[in-house]
Each structure stands twice: as C-alpha cells, then as structure tokens.
Amino acid sequence: MLTTREAKAIISAAETKANTINVPVIIAILDAGAHLKAFLRMDGAVLGSIDIATKKARTAVLFEINSELVWEYCKPGAPAPCLELTNDGLAPFAGGIPLKNSDGVLQGAVGVSGGSVAQDFEIAQAAAAAFTNK
Amino acid sequence: MLTTREAKAIISAAETKANTINVPVIIAILDAGAHLKAFLRMDGAVLGSIDIATKKARTAVLFEINSELVWEYCKPGAPAPCLELTNDGLAPFAGGIPLKNSDGVLQGAVGVSGGSVAQDFEIAQAAAAAFTNK
Amino acid sequence: MLTTREAKAIISAAETKANTINVPVIIAILDAGAHLKAFLRMDGAVLGSIDIATKKARTAVLFEINSELVWEYCKPGAPAPCLELTNDGLAPFAGGIPLKNSDGVLQGAVGVSGGSVAQDFEIAQAAAAAFTNK
Amino acid sequence: MLTTREAKAIISAAETKANTINVPVIIAILDAGAHLKAFLRMDGAVLGSIDIATKKARTAVLFEINSELVWEYCKPGAPAPCLELTNDGLAPFAGGIPLKNSDGVLQGAVGVSGGSVAQDFEIAQAAAAAFTNK
C-alpha cells in the first residue's frame, strides 16, 4: 500500500529532477487500484499534460509494466491492435512506471508529462527510484 | 495565477488542520480554469472522496462561490431545479472554497472531502486561509 | 432554418438587454437539430454558465417549449419523475426559449445563463423577440 | 485574458477571410483554460465541423502550439504514439492556432473547420492575426 509519506517523497524526487534538467512537468501518483493518491502540476507545464501524466500512470498500473512497453502489444504488426483504445484510452509511451515493493507486488505507479518523452522518462525514473530505495 | 508554491502551502495547511482534528481527507486544488493543480489523498480517506473533493473545488471555481451556496439555487423550491445536473454534476455542499486574490479575482479553488461535511468545511477554511494570508 | 445572420441578431439583442440590466451572461444559439450555431460569453460571466446556457437551449429544442415548462413534467408529484436525467441532463428552469417561424415550425432555440433566473429569462425573451420580429 | 471584444474581432476576421475564399466554416474561440468564449457556424458548413473546430482550438490551447504540430509527436515512428487519444481526443491537423499576448503568454486559441485543411489554416491565420495585430 502506497502511503501519503511515500507519495510525497516520489513527487519531491520528480520535482527535484525536473528542476535539475529545467523542464516543468506534471507528476501523477496512482495507487494499485489506479486511484489518484497525489498530483502536482509545476508552473509552466502545459494543460494537455494533466491527462497524459495521469494516463501514463494508469497504463503502468493496469498492466503492471512501464507504459511504453504496452506499445509492443499494439504497434503495427503486433498481436493486439487497438489495445490502446481499451480502458478509456491508454498512453503507451514512456513516462509511466509501476511501483512495486521488494516482493514485486504492485503498489501503484508514477506518471510524468511535460517535457520530451525522453525527459519525462528520466524524471519518472528518478521518481520511481525514490520509492524503490526508500 | 495560482503557483505551485501556493498550491503546496494550501495543501500543507489543510493537512495540518486535518491532523489536528484527526480526520484523514482528500484535498484537491484547481486553477481558475478548473484544471487540477495539486492533489493529496491522506492515508485512510475513502476512495469515494476523490471525486467529491474534486467536484467541490470544481463547483467553487465554476460559480466563484463556496460550493454549499450553490444549493441555495437548486434546493426544493429554489428557482433553478436540477442545476446540480449541469457541468457533469456539481457538489453543492460544504468543502469547496474559491481562492481569490486581493482584487477579488478568481485564482482557483480548494476542495476537501473525507470527514463530516462540517469537518471538511473547517479544513477547507484553513486551506483557503493559507492562500489569502500568504 | 436558422441563418447566421439571424443568429447574430439574436445574440446582439441578448447582449444589448444584458448590458441594459447590467448582467454579464452567456448566450447559446442552437439549430432545430440541437447543434450549436452561435455562442458568446460576455466578460464577467462565470464558467459554470457555459453548460447551463447550452443545456437550457438544448432543453427548449428537445421539447419545443420553454425550458422551465419541462419542470412541470418532472417536479415532485408530476407524472415523469427523472425526466431531467434523460438526454444527458436537462436544465428545466427559465432561460431557454424555442425559436419558431411564423408557421410554428421549430427553427432552434436560445439559452441564456449568468444572472438570476428571472434576469436570464428576461434576456432570453429579448433575444427570442429579435428572431420573431425580424 | 481574452475579452468579448477581442473574440468578436477574431470571429469577424475569420468570417471575412472565409467569405473572400468562398468557404463556409465554423469558428471556435476558447480561452486559456480551454473554455468556450465565442462560436459561429456559417451557413453551409457541415455539422461534423462543430466538433472539429472546437477540438482544433482545444488542441492548440492544451499544448500551446498550432494543432498540426501535435502530429509531429504522435505520427507513425514518432515518440508518443496514441498521444491523440489523450484529453478526450485531439485534432492534430491544421486549423487550430494559439493566441498569445506580446509577452508570449497564452490567452486562448482559435479553431477553424469546414473547408480543406489548407483553407481552414488560411482562415485561422487571418483570425489569429486579428488578435495579434489588435
């Protein structure tokens, strides 16, 4: 179970990394039931990233893998075309990372959006590390 | 314009008050366009309050008044029956408070849910005061 | 068929009346198929009135009567409880008026929101008159 | 903040250009929070363009860039596949242009639909110029 204390630490780590690479982002933390636990929109992030950050985290919770890995199942030629249309729309690109405990049990996910996909992923990794290394 | 720094201070004030009266709540902060700026779900708050806290804040932004005042327009015998069905559903009870600057211009709103309506209102007032007195 | 020229005249008449009684409102004009034809949000009108003005006009088109008359069918004790929940939610209070030609054939509707219900109705009447008396 | 006066001037400029090139279109003006400010459907424009014009403007507000530039992020081979499914569906093709003040701060957007994509873009540019050069 993801605690408020943990959620704050994850957001704080994401914010620190975002400031380091100078990219304002939106950070969404969902629990293992895909319900919002914590959220922060940094000044300067575009409004469109509210839904993207949330959907990346949601995609990571729903399939218990990084959001970009879902693309492997639905990209052209893959066996599950239109998978991305399920669950009210997935965000199958980098920036959503599941949060698992030391036993590998899903506790939630973090989703980041606002920079380039590579930047979002870098920030999400820093955020997830704050949970894993707590 | 509601800043990240202000949003954090508002959430922190709400959390402090919630801890003081020993009621875990959910706090949602929206900007003046009703877009999510910050959010925190305290450990122990029920899932149903995620949407309630958000809708209370949304109601306060949309009408630029406390959420419970909207009930005066749509309660039995009032002139706007079913007003509560507009805007994807309003939450016309206490816990949503608009945030205005010293010129009275709307900057956003805070919504609180998780305790009794009276407790939610008390916490929302503490949260709003952190903005007003900043 | 409601023309662009007519829609502009209706909005202009609403705006003139709104300025006369000093109430900023939102004016929505729908055609006979309930599709948006023209829309104006006057400076100062609250965001919540965007959906209300549109739903009032929609209610008037869908039943070809003034929006407040729909309440007679669904108010407590009336024969169609929950009618207000149909059609994605109705707005059964004053401010929506159907626009009919001289043969009584529906051409569309105007919806007004932003002031008190009585003010909205007064402005909607001025708007509808600009169509009827064209 | 986008005023009613500015919104009318933008719609008027779009309408003038549309008449010049003889293409009836729909023009939607959103504020910086993606809320509808003004709207006009010219006689002859197809119903399907109501949502398209609005979504183009919405896309431009949400990402603070021309709507067609969003396609660069989600087209085949680009790093954000299915980005177009976020935010209730984007319209990543030309005709949506953000409106920014002289300091580069977003004030809203205009969206145009009804002609060819090239025509819609030409009309949207004329509309945006009426705001920039006001």
The average confidence (pLDDT) of chain B is: 97
- Comparing alpha-carbon positions, the chain D residue that sits nearest to A70 is D81
Q: What is the mean pLDDT of residues A48-60?
A: 98
Res C10: pLDDT: 98
Res D133: pLDDT: 80
Q: What is the mean pLDDT of residues C96-116?
A: 97
Angle between helix B4-20 and B117-132 (nearest 10): 140
Res C81: pLDDT: 96
Tens digit of each residue's pLDDT (9 = 90 or more) over C17-45: 999 999 999 999 999 999 999 999 999 99
* Cα B115 to Cα B93: distance, rounded to the nearest angstrom: 13
Which residues sit opposite D26 in a β-bridge?
Answer: D41, D113
Tokens representing residue C39 in the block: 């829309």
Domains: count for chain B: 1
Per CB-CB distance under 8 Å, the chain A contacts of D59 are 48
Res C22: pLDDT: 98
Size of interface B-C (CB pairs under 8 A): 49
Res B114: pLDDT: 98
* Cα B91 to Cα B114: distance, rounded to the nearest angstrom: 14
Tell me: pLDDT of A80 over 80: yes
Task: Give B89 to chain C, closest Cα distance, Å.
Answer: 9
Task: Give D132 to chain B, closest Cα distance, Å.
Answer: 22
Is B42 in Cβ contact with A39 (below 8 Å)?
Answer: no
* Strand (E) or helix (H) holding A41: strand A36-41
Per CB-CB distance under 8 Å, the chain D contacts of C55 are none
Residues 6+ apart with CB under 8 A from D93: D56, D67, D68, D71, D117
Res D57: pLDDT: 98
Instruction: Report the percent of chain B where pLDDT is more than 90.
Output: 97
Task: Give A45 to chain D, closest Cα distance, Å.
Answer: 9
| pLDDT band (50, 70, 90) for residue B103 | very high
Tell me: pLDDT of A7 over 80: yes
- Comparing alpha-carbon positions, the chain B residue that sits nearest to C69 is B81
Task: Give A29 to chain B, closest Cα distance, Å.
Answer: 10
Q: Is the dihedral of CA A121, A126, A127, A131 positive or negative?
A: positive
* Cα A45 to Cα B73: distance, rounded to the nearest angstrom: 36
* Cα C40 to Cα C29: distance, rounded to the nearest angstrom: 9
Tens digit of each residue's pLDDT (9 = 90 or more) over C49-71: 999 999 999 999 999 999 999 99
Q: What is the mean pLDDT of residues C76-85?
A: 96
Size of interface A-D (CB pairs under 8 A): 49
Res C133: pLDDT: 80
Per CB-CB distance under 8 Å, the chain D contacts of A46 are 62-64
Per CB-CB distance under 8 Å, the chain B contacts of C117 are 79-80
Residue A107 gets which letter from DSSP? E
Interface of B with C (CB under 8 A): 33-34, 59, 61-64, 76, 79-83, 85-88, 90
Is C4 in Cβ contact with D40 (below 8 Å)?
Answer: yes
- Buried/exposed code over B3-29 (b: 16+ C-beta within 10 A; e: otherwise): ebebbbbbbebbbebbeeeebbbbbbb
Q: Determine whether A30 is exposed, middle or buried from the number of CB atoms within 10 Å of its CB (0-12, 13-18, 19+).
A: buried
Residues 6+ apart with CB under 8 A from B20: none
Beta carbons of D101 and D115 less than 8 angstroms apart: no
Res B1: pLDDT: 87
| pLDDT band (50, 70, 90) for residue B134 | confident
Res D134: pLDDT: 72
* Strand (E) or helix (H) holding B122: helix B117-132
Best probe of the B interface among A41, A47, A58, by most B CBs < 10 A, is: A41
* Strand (E) or helix (H) holding B31: strand B26-31
Touching pair B, D by Cβ (3+ pairs < 8 Å)? yes
Is A90 in Cβ contact with D81 (below 8 Å)?
Answer: no
Beta carbons of D24 and D60 less than 8 angstroms apart: no
| pLDDT band (50, 70, 90) for residue C132 | confident
For chain D (134 residues), the mean pLDDT of every run of 10, in chain order, is: 96 98 98 98 98 98 98 96 97 98 96 98 98 84
Instruction: Report the percent of chain A where pLDDT is more than 70.
Output: 100
Instruction: Report the percent of chain B where pLDDT is more than 70.
Output: 100
Task: Give A54 to chain B, closest Cα distance, Å.
Answer: 11
Is A118 in Cβ contact with D87 (below 8 Å)?
Answer: no
Res C42: pLDDT: 98
| pLDDT band (50, 70, 90) for residue A36 | very high
Res A132: pLDDT: 87
| pLDDT band (50, 70, 90) for residue C99 | very high
Residue A77 gets which letter from DSSP? T
Task: Give B97 to chain C, closest Cα distance, Å.
Answer: 15
Distance of CA D33 to the CA centre of its chain: 14
Query: Across the interface, which of C3, C4, C36 has its CB nearest the CB of D50?
Result: C36
* CATH number, position C32: 3.30.450.150
The average confidence (pLDDT) of chain A is: 97
| pLDDT band (50, 70, 90) for residue A8 | very high
- Which chains are adjacent to chain B, needing at least 3 Cβ pairs under 8 Å? A, C, D
Best probe of the B interface among C47, C67, C90, by most B CBs < 10 A, is: C47
Q: What is the DSSP string of D50-112?
A: HHHHHHHHHHHHHHTS-GGGGHHHHSTTSS-TTGGGSTT----SSSEEEEE-TT--EEEEEEE
Q: Which residue is it, tokens 């949003």?
A: B7
Q: What is the mean pLDDT of residues A84-100?
A: 98
Beta carbons of D80 and A117 less than 8 angstroms apart: yes
* Strand (E) or helix (H) holding D116: none
Tell me: pLDDT of A128 over 90: yes
Residues 6+ apart with CB under 8 A from A33: A61, B47
Res A84: pLDDT: 97
Task: Give B79 to chain A, closest Cα distance, Å.
Answer: 35
* Cα A18 to Cα A12: distance, rounded to the nearest angstrom: 10
Res B132: pLDDT: 87
Beta carbons of C37 and C53 less than 8 angstroms apart: no
Beta carbons of D127 and D30 less than 8 angstroms apart: no
- Which chains are adjacent to chain D, needing at least 3 Cβ pairs under 8 Å? A, B, C
* Cα A105 to Cα C79: distance, rounded to the nearest angstrom: 54
Tens digit of each residue's pLDDT (9 = 90 or more) over B49-72: 999 999 999 999 999 999 999 999
Per CB-CB distance under 8 Å, the chain D contacts of A92 are 81-82
* Cα D64 to Cα D30: distance, rounded to the nearest angstrom: 12
Is D33 in Cβ contact with A48 (below 8 Å)?
Answer: no
| pLDDT band (50, 70, 90) for residue B46 | very high
Tell me: pLDDT of C112 over 90: yes
Is B76 in Cβ contact with C118 (below 8 Å)?
Answer: no
* Residue D24: closest CA among D50, D51, D4: D50
Is D43 in Cβ contact with C40 (below 8 Å)?
Answer: no
Is B36 in Cβ contact with A4 (below 8 Å)?
Answer: no
Expressed as residue numbers, the domain containing B19 is 4-132
Residues 6+ apart with CB under 8 A from C22: none
Name residue D103's amino acid.
D
Interface of A with B (CB under 8 A): 3-4, 7-8, 33, 35-43, 47, 50
